Structure 1
Amino acid sequence: MFDFTAAEDDLPSSVWELGIYDAHCHPTDNYKRLAEALGIIDISKLTIMATRLDDQVKVRDAATQYPERIVPSFGYHPWFTHLLYTSPMPPESKYHHYRSVLLPEPPTEFMDLLPDPVSLSSFIEILIENIETHKNALVGEIGIDRSFRLPKSGKLISFEESDTDDSSSASSEVVNGHNSSDTKKLSPFTVKQEHQTEVLLAQLRVAAKFRRPVSVHGVQAHGILYEIFSRLWTGYSVPTRRQKKKEKEEQKFVKLDMEDGTPKSGNDQLPFPARICLHSYSGPPDQIKLWTNRKLPAAVYFSFSILINSRYGDKFKQVLRAVPDDRLLVESDFHMAGKKMQALLAEIVKFVCEVKGWELDQGVRTLGNNWRAFVYGTDDL
């Protein structure tokens, strides 16, 4: 596991000037520090993720205030999906709801700690409003997490207005969203996969409708996520030259730009987003070929952070080598903008370039082109 306190930014200013982009981060967890941090960091743009109801407005406000530095991403993280009910009508009680979405069935004493759930439909209305307001916004962080367990306190940890600055000696457990004491006090309760999937699909429909890229969280769920997207792709593919010549009608084909997956002809509504990022990808190297098959009607990218992915050792290097050069992104996945975030991004850039055998300038240009292709559908500025 990488010691984030040892992260060092020793990249020359000339390299930062080429453009280095953070594909996934959470600095609105410390919103008051964001403005000051943007004045001292060299990161070209931050792709900022929303995760729950109370931070959608923070991501929106940050993007409105700093449009040149921030690309917003609005979504509902799988860790928080138990707080949503998906039925058309409100549940009989919060106890009825939590018994239906948590495994094993929680006791009343635990459910007493949990708030009343809100409707998925009300969140989707908020999501659509934010997506319509911000023309370059992504949908994320969304996904499936089969390993996450709710804390015994019933409260998920937030760093909102933390007194800890970005140069502190906090542990890696803090970096990843939990303080050390609460990390050790996990309940046995998990959110049913079916419930997580329902919330995920609702958000994917929004991304598809507005043709926005998505940032996807997957833990112990890589096969499941591939199955979910495969079902959405059913009946769609990039036609081969032979198929184009024969003009076969049995299969519906969507003509897509092979670089970024954006539809180039026709006005048919696609049932899936054209561009997908599997953030901090931790799946097996051999599965990458499935996600990057050039016949798929979507472009799938893989983003990596030194904080998360370094724990996988040699497997991480194997994964990096397996990812096509034009589908690779870098991220900090850090909760606070500032010099520590910049150092973490510098570390992953250096590591990727070393494993890929890229010269630093070449690697930074490649990663920058990839980020622009993922976010905007083009490598143009």
Structure 2
Amino acid sequence: MPKQKLDEPLINLSDNHCHFHPEATIEQTLELAKALNDYQYEFPNKFFHLMTTQHIDLECMAVLLDKLENEDIVVPYFGVHPWFSHLFYTSNEKLNKLEHYNSVLSPPPSEELLNLLPEPISIIEHTSKMKDIIKRYNIEVFGIGEIGLDKLFRVPNAGFLGNPNYKNENEKDKLSTSRVKIDHQMNIFKYQLKLANDLQVQASIHCVKAHGILYDEVMKYSNIIVVLHSYTGSIDQARRWLKTKKSNLYFSLSNWINGEKEELLELLANTLNSSQILTESDTYIDKYFIEHKEGEYFNQLIGIFEKLNSYKPIDSLQLKTNMLNSLSIID
């Protein structure tokens, strides 16, 4: 039986920022591929803009691309999220485990936390694996993400979200006292901005309480297509972005983050040009589709679209055009 087309507005929308679950496994990724392959509706090409955030889901991305019947429904993004930045180093020489984590975390990790943390990972080698995946699957459209800065983040007691070696279910969501130093986050961020700039692709950018320094750094690169994911900065900061007259600038908005702050969302919708708005779920798509909660998932995208339209009429075809332009694709 041929697959049905998604109804409007979903047929024109895209999920410009979604994720694997932090605890995703290869087996679950195979289940996700099967669920997407078997789904009764046909997804538009470039529908899922799927982020990687660390070393483990890089492997999940490769498996998903290998098993999808139509890999064009996914735009893969490759990045190190600030919540995982402490696991990586940028230099050519590797410090030992104690030296590395003492240098990037404040306060330094406890002995218990240090034992749970993995050996530091070379972001250079991580990038090489990314490029191998791009070459292996002949990926023509991809991005760098999720990357960024986060001044509020504290390292989990597990060492990092989804650590497969951490078995204490009762404590897995609790946080240590250690934070990733902003200088280290910035080093990881700069490396990835330069990568996006060299490749001339879009970067999906996370920012919490660091909008000024993030803006200053991003503006140093002229070839990046900037996607400000689930934008939570002030209206004044949004106007600062807009004053740059940067043509490759997009504000990607989600229902569960932006939609919960409706007063700010209304101001933002009326500040932005309709050609600069994207929609996203910022959710774990594997959980939704494996657990057959597709309706809840689609409600995230329809929800933010309807809220935006309650403040400012935006045609879903405009959002499709915005997505294609953000990828430098001519429809």
Q: Which of 218, 237, 249 is the aligned partner of 1:300? A: 249
Corresponding residue for 2:240? 290
Could you say what secondary structure the match of 1:309 adopts? Answer: coil
Structure 2 residue matching 1:348: 3-state secondary structure: helix
Residue 52 (structure 1) aligns with: 54
Normalised by the size of structure 2, how large is the TM-score? 0.84
CA shift digits 1:218-259 (9 cap, x unpaired):
1111112101112x14xxxxxxxxxxxxxxxxxxxxxxxxxx
CA change 1:294–1:137 in 2 (3 A) is same
Which residue of the partner structure matches residue 16 of structure 1? 10
Q: Give the alignment of 1:206-217 within 5 angstroms.
A: 206-217=195-206
Matched, 1:312 2:261: yes
Q: Is the 8 A contact 1:213 1:276 kept in 2?
A: yes
TM-fit CA distance, 1:72: 0.8
Asked if 1:193 is matched to 2:194, the reply is no
How many Å apart are 1:90 and its aligned residue?
A: 1.4
* Partner residue, 1:78: 82
Work out the CA distance in 2 between the residues paired with 1:180 and 1:138.
36
Aligned-residue offset at 1:69: 1.1
2:304 corresponds to: 348
Paired with 1:34 and 1:56, the residues of 2 have a C-alpha distance of 15
Unaligned runs of 5+ in 1: 1-11, 160-178, 234-271
Distance of 2:267 and 2:245 partners within structure 1: 24
SS at match of 2:231: coil
Instruction: Decide which structure has the larger Cα Rg and report it.
Output: 1
CA shift digits 1:323-352 (9 cap, x unpaired): 211100000111025312212111111111
Task: Report deviation, 1:369.
Answer: 0.8
Instruction: Give 5+ residue unaligned stretches, structure 2.
Output: 1-5
Query: Is the CA contact 1:303–1:329 (under 8 Å) kept in the aligned structure 2?
Result: yes
Q: 2:57, 2:90 → 1: CA distance?
A: 20
Relative distance call for 1:121 and 1:27 in structure 2 (3 A) is: closer
1:63/1:71 contact within 8 Å kept: no
- Rounded to whole Å, the distance in 1 between the matches of 2:58 and 2:239 is 34
Q: Distance in 1 between matches of 2:279 and 2:141?
A: 19
Residues 7-39 of structure 1: CA distance to partner in whole angstroms, max 9, x if unpaired?
Answer: xxxxx824334x211101114745222431452
* Conserved? CA contact 2:17–2:49, under 8 Å: yes
* Equivalent residue for 2:145, pick from 137, 140, 145: 140
> Using the alignment, how far apart are the partners of 2:239 and 2:248 within structure 1?
12
Aligned Cα root-mean-square deviation (Å):
2.3
Report the equivalent of 2:3.
Answer: none
Amino acid corresponding to residue 367 of structure 1 in structure 2: L
Q: What pairs with 1:140-159 in structure 2 (closer than 5 Å)?
A: 140-157=145-162
Letter in 1 for 2:53: T
Deviation at 1:273, TM superposition (A): 3.3
The aligned amino acid for 2:176 is S
Check the 8 A contact 1:204/1:273 in 2, yes or no.
no
2:115 aligned partner, one-letter code: D
Q: Aligned to 1:142, what secondary structure does the other structure show?
A: strand
Gap change, CA 1:286 and 1:131, over 3 Å in 2: farther
Deviations 1:75-114 (A, max 9, x none): 11111111112232111x2111100000112222321121
1:35 aligned residue: 34
**Contact 1:20-1:43 at 8 Å conserved across structures:** no
Q: Distance in 2 between matches of 1:331 and 1:94?
A: 37
Partners of 2:272 and 2:235 lie apart in 1 by 8
Relative to the length of structure 1, the TM-score reads: 0.73
